[in-house]
Structure 1
Amino acid sequence: MNNRHFLLSATAVLVLSACGGGGGGGGGSTPPPPPVSTHSPVTPANATRVASNAYAAASAIGDSSTSLNGFLTGVSVGRANISVVSPVLKLVKQAYARDGQPLLTGVTLTEACTGGGTITIDATVRSQDTISNGDAVKITANNCVEDGDTLNGVLGTTFSNITGDMLNSWTWTATMDARFTQFSIRSGSETVSVNGDMKIAMIQTNATTSSVTVSGSSLQTTEQRSGMNLASRNLSDYSMTGSTRGSTVTSTASFTMSGNTSALGQFSYSVRNLQPFVTNGTGMPSAGALIVEGASSSVTLTVASATGVRLDLSAKGDGVITQTTNLAWAEFLMSI
Structure 2
Amino acid sequence: MHSLTAIGCLVALSACGGGGGGGSGSASTPVQTSSLTTITAANAPKAASNGYAATNAIGQSSSLTGAVTGVTIAPAGVGVVTPMLDLVKQAVSQNGAKLLTGVTVSNACTGGGSMTIDATLHSQTTLSNGDTMSVTAKDCIEDGSTMNGAVSISISGVSGDVVNGTSGAVTLDMRFSGLNVATGSTNEVLGGDMKIALTATSATDIALTISGNSLQVTEQQAGTTVATRTLTGYSLTGGQHGTTVTAAANFAVSGNANGLGQFAYTVQSVQPLVSTTMSDVPTSGSFIVNGAASSVTATIVPTGVRLDYSAKGDGVITQTSTVSWTSFVGA
Q: TM-score normalised to the size of structure 1?
A: 0.80
What residue is the counterpart of 1:129 in the other structure?
A: 125
- Aligned-partner residue type, residue 126 of structure 2: T
What pairs with 1:144-163 in structure 2 (closer than 5 Å)? 144-145=140-141, 149-163=145-159
1:140-193 per-residue CA deviation (whole Å, 9 max, x = no partner) reads 123445565543310000000101123321111000000000012344543321
- Aligned-partner residue type, residue 58 of structure 1: T
Q: Check conservation: 2:175, 2:192, Cα contact below 8 A.
A: yes
1:50-92 per-residue CA deviation (whole Å, 9 max, x = no partner) reads 11111100111146799989xx9x997774x5586x6599379
Of structures 1 and 2, the one with the larger relative CO (CA 8 A, separation 6+) is 2
What residue is the counterpart of 1:49 in the other structure?
A: 46
1:10 aligned residue (28, 35, 41)? 28
What residue is the counterpart of 1:18 in the other structure?
A: none
Q: What is the deviation of 1:13?
A: 9.5
Identity of aligned residues (%): 44
TM-aligned CA distance change 1:88 to 1:159, over 3 Å:
farther
Q: Distance in 1 between matches of 2:317 and 2:311?
A: 7
What pairs with 1:273-288 in structure 2 (closer than 5 Å)? 273-280=269-276, 281-288=278-285
What pairs with 1:265-304 in structure 2 (closer than 5 Å)? 265-280=261-276, 281-304=278-301
1:191-226 per-residue CA deviation (whole Å, 9 max, x = no partner) reads 321100000111121122211110000111111223
Q: Distance in 2 between matches of 1:184 and 1:304?
A: 36
TM-aligned CA distance change 1:290 to 1:91, over 3 Å:
farther
Greater percentage in helix:
2
Aligned residue pairs, count:
307
Unpaired segments ≥5 residues, structure 1? 15-35
3-state SS, counterpart of residue 41 of structure 1 = coil
What residue is the counterpart of 2:56 in the other structure?
A: 59
**Which range moved further: 281-290 or 49-58?**
281-290
What pairs with 1:1-336 in structure 2 (closer than 5 Å)? 9-12=27-30, 37-62=34-59, 79=76, 81=77, 90=85, 94=89, 97-102=92-97, 103-113=99-109, 117-145=113-141, 149-280=145-276, 281-305=278-302, 308-335=304-331
Q: Check conservation: 2:2, 2:166, Cα contact below 8 A.
A: no
**Which range moved further: 259-268 or 129-138?**
259-268
- Aligned-partner residue type, residue 162 of structure 1: V
Unpaired segments ≥5 residues, structure 2? 9-26
Q: Distance in 2 between matches of 1:186 and 1:250?
A: 29
Q: Check conservation: 1:135, 1:158, Cα contact below 8 A.
A: yes
3-state SS, counterpart of residue 104 of structure 1 = helix
3-state SS, counterpart of residue 101 of structure 2 = coil
**Which range moved further: 321-330 or 47-56?**
321-330
Q: Distance in 1 between matches of 2:60 and 2:317?
A: 29
Q: Check conservation: 1:190, 1:225, Cα contact below 8 A.
A: yes
- Aligned-partner residue type, residue 259 of structure 1: G
TM-aligned CA distance change 1:301 to 1:65, over 3 Å:
farther
Q: Check conservation: 1:176, 1:200, Cα contact below 8 A.
A: yes
TM-aligned CA distance change 1:134 to 1:212, over 3 Å:
same
TM-aligned CA distance change 1:187 to 1:245, over 3 Å:
farther
Q: What is the deviation of 1:106?
A: 3.0
1:226-265 per-residue CA deviation (whole Å, 9 max, x = no partner) reads 3321111110000000111222211000000111124322
TM-aligned CA distance change 1:298 to 1:334, over 3 Å:
same
TM-aligned CA distance change 1:13 to 1:54, over 3 Å:
closer
- Aligned-partner residue type, residue 48 of structure 1: P
- Aligned-partner residue type, residue 57 of structure 2: A
Q: Distance in 1 between matches of 2:324 and 2:164?
A: 42
- Aligned-partner residue type, residue 85 of structure 2: K
Q: Distance in 2 between matches of 1:4 and 1:273?
A: 27
TM-aligned CA distance change 1:116 to 1:310, over 3 Å:
farther
TM-aligned CA distance change 1:228 to 1:200, over 3 Å:
same
Q: Distance in 1 between matches of 2:40 and 2:135?
A: 43
Q: Check conservation: 1:151, 1:185, Cα contact below 8 A.
A: yes
- Aligned-partner residue type, residue 28 of structure 2: A
Q: Distance in 2 between matches of 1:92 and 1:172?
A: 24
- Aligned-partner residue type, residue 315 of structure 2: G
